[in-house]
Amino acid sequence: MVELKNVSKYYNNNGVVTLGLRNINLNFDKNEIVAIVGESGSGKSTLLNVICGVDSYEEGEILFDGYETSYFNQEDMDTFRRLKVSFIYQNYNIIDSYTVLENVMFPLLINGYDKKEAKKRALELIERVGLTHRIKNRGIKLSGGEKQRCVIARALATDAPILACDEPTGNLDSKTGEEIIKLIKEVADDKLVLIVTHNYEQVEEIATRTIKMSDGEVIDDTNVNKNVCEEVKDGDIFNDEVKKIKYKTIASIAGNNLRRTPKKNIFVFLVLLVLSIIGLFLFGESYVSSLNSENNSYSGFNNILGERAIVYKENHEKIDDSLFKDYESYSNAFYEDQLVPLRNNSIDFYLYKSVCLTAHMPYRIKKINGDTNYDENQGYLVLPTNHYFDSYTLNGIIECRSLYLVINGENIDIDVVGIATSDELDDPLLVVKQQFIDEKAKFNSFNASISLDDLITNLLVRYTDVKKPKLHLRYSNYSSLSDIHFFNNKIKEYQKTIKLDEIDIEYLSSTEYLELPYDFYKTDCYELTIYTNDIDNLKKIANNNGLSVIIPAKSGKSFFSFTYIVFIVTIIFSSLVMLLLVFISYAVLQKVYQSRKKDYTIMRSLGMMRPQMAKMIRFEVVTLGFFASIVAIIVYLITFLFTKEEANMDIVKAMFSPLFLIVYILFMFVFNLLLANKFNKKLFKFSVTKTIKEVF
């Protein structure tokens, strides 16, 4: 069954090499109960650990059923122990936080049994060792004898062919020790039982063979079984016996670890909660900075309300405005970006400011003064928050009855009935009725530019009584236009182009301008200004119908804009801080995970392989981190709500969008994975033997 050929083992401790085993040659078969004895330090435990794959060896070969094991890597050794070896230790190696049932079920679960099947077999084994009455008791509540009985039941769970016992009665009184030895005898059928003991008299009656060790060598081997192990075979030592541990099983084990150690996990949770709040703050700053980097309004747009969108065709043809009948929309509302002087004749205060006219009352306004209801000759003024008006002036504007707009050189009376502020604007808006714009605020000219082939020039656009568009160009700019059939009239302020067909071209010597009929923009829709809080859905409708969308408040990120540079710096800073927090949090939590290292080491000695243990630890840390992140979000939200600051509410709306929450959770998921990997790296730094010695 097991054969050792010239096996030697050495230990290197800070450059000092010591002998563990020297040229060991032994054969072991099933149905043997082998007592390995010797003085302390003679090498008996080392021999047991090397045979069972707990420790490595440097020279020679160990064969199991004729298969060589010297080529095994760490994962192979873990699999070998899981399938071929069961352990009974002097210090029990029981998982104190687990119940008796959970301890016995553990090796069954990592060997591929489903939970129901594992529980059934565990109950049978617990009854066999006489612990049914303690089945729900945690390991820490058991006596020494009960712990060893539990370990024996656990050792029998996988029905491994080798039962390795390292001083199984060393911590027990003589009576309990005798009971455990008898129990080992009862369960030894069809197994190779290896017992390391300092009390040979206690195992003498059941031992069929005795091996005496001294200074790492076998000095006596009595009652030797003459059977020889089979020759080396080709193939896989594990064949089809290896069962992959399902991720569901790993998650179940990790969940049980969390439930069984509540005090330690509460501390871990609180630390992760603090880190999650810090992470939320840093990530929130990055997110808001990202939004700001996008909120560089297109040049030429003065009305940059966030709810405003402009829909048009890329080829600058007429569009069907009925597609957006469910939205608040305005056809050809070019006036919305044209600054108009607002004046007054009052001797009580002086006002000199230009405004944009709009028929839309902004959704998000603050510090509302006056009446938001107004008729055809009245308006409501919305000022940028960064624009200074003292309270005296504000009251004066509302009370004054001599305000007027200057449009096309004409004074148009307007009564401002109220004032509010907006964080979104750079220029004031004067909200009036659409009827006021159509009947009184008639714009008959605006600045524009045209593109003829690759040549672009500025010009003035006028509304006149011509029957069709007429272009007046200077000879100095165009020498030959005879083969041009159309051109694009690109309105500079709005960054889009309107295509004009069958246009008259007249050549002048002094100026250049474009004449359009008064009703040119009245009969057809070339662009549609839409106001909505659901910009994304609007984009879908537009894209599905071959239309383009411009959002004046968002130009897209510019690599050279100040806000985008701030965004990049914020991202780099936040990433560095979070990386630093990984090391800080590890330093804080390592004591907690050091206290759990015993449980992890036992699991590892029972054959739970490195990839599965790494997944289990990741699951534990990530689960606690996930709940910490959720609580951090709630704490952050409550904090903002209790401050009742309007600016904070804007941050809340921006930060607590579904996209932000999803990205933040993923961000913290990566952070917690890094933290878990730090623990994994520490846990698997040493061999199983060294880790066991370090822990126990």
Q: What is the pLDDT of residue 335?
A: 83
Q: What is the pLDDT of residue 496?
A: 37
- The DSSP annotation for 211-228 comes to EEEETTEEEEEES-----
Q: For residues 106 and 51, what is the distance between their CA atoms, to the nearest angstrom?
A: 23
Apex 670 CA angle, 667 and 671, nearest 5: 85
Q: What is the pLDDT of residue 72?
A: 83
- Give per-residue pLDDT as tens, 588-631: 777 777 777 778 888 877 778 778 888 898 999 899 999 998 99
- Give per-residue pLDDT as tens, 480-492: 433 333 333 333 3
- Give per-residue pLDDT as tens, 358-409: 999 999 888 888 878 888 888 998 888 766 555 556 666 666 667 888 887 7
Q: Which helix (H) or strand (E) holds 460?
A: strand 455-464
Q: What is the pLDDT of residue 214?
A: 92
Apex 78 CA angle, 75 and 80, nearest 5: 110
Q: What is the pLDDT of residue 227?
A: 45
Q: Are 97 and 260 in contact (CB under 8 A)?
A: yes
Q: For residues 75 and 629, what is the distance between their CA atoms, to the nearest angstrom?
A: 34
Question: For tokens 């029998």, what's the residue?
Answer: 156
- The DSSP annotation for 196-260 comes to E-S-HHHHTTT-SEEEEEETTEEEEEES-----PPPP-SS-SSTT---PPPHHHHHHHHHHHHHH
3-state secondary structure 464-492: ECCCCCEEEEECCCCCCCCCCCCEEEEEH
Q: For residues 287 and 62, what is the distance between their CA atoms, to the nearest angstrom?
A: 59
The structure's pTM equals: 0.57
Q: Which residues contact 43 (CB under 8 A, 6 or more apart)?
A: 20, 21, 213, 214, 215, 216, 217
CB neighbours of residue 591 within 10 Å: 10
Q: Are 190 and 13 in contact (CB under 8 A)?
A: no
Question: For tokens 């951090």, what's the residue?
Answer: 632
Q: What is the pLDDT of residue 603?
A: 84
Residues of the chain under the 70 pLDDT cut? 224-244, 285, 287-300, 315-316, 345-352, 386-401, 446-458, 474-503, 507-510, 521-522, 555-568, 641, 643-656, 683-696
Q: What is the pLDDT of residue 47?
A: 93
Q: Where in the chain is the domain with CATH 3.40.50.300?
A: 2-243
Q: Which helix (H) or strand (E) holds 20?
A: strand 16-28
Find the farthest-apart pair of alpha carbons in the chain and give their distance in angstroms, rounded. 125
Residue 533: DSSP 8-state: S
Q: What is the pLDDT of residue 290?
A: 62
Q: Top-level CATH class of 2-243?
A: alpha beta
Q: What is the pLDDT of residue 218?
A: 92
Q: Which residues contact 530 (CB under 8 A, 6 or more apart)?
A: 308, 309, 310, 311, 324, 327, 328, 329, 330, 538
Residue 139: DSSP 8-state: G
Structure tokens at 661: 């929450």
Q: What is the pLDDT of residue 36?
A: 93
Q: For residues 145 and 142, what is the distance between their CA atoms, to the nearest angstrom?
A: 8
Q: What is the pLDDT of residue 653?
A: 60
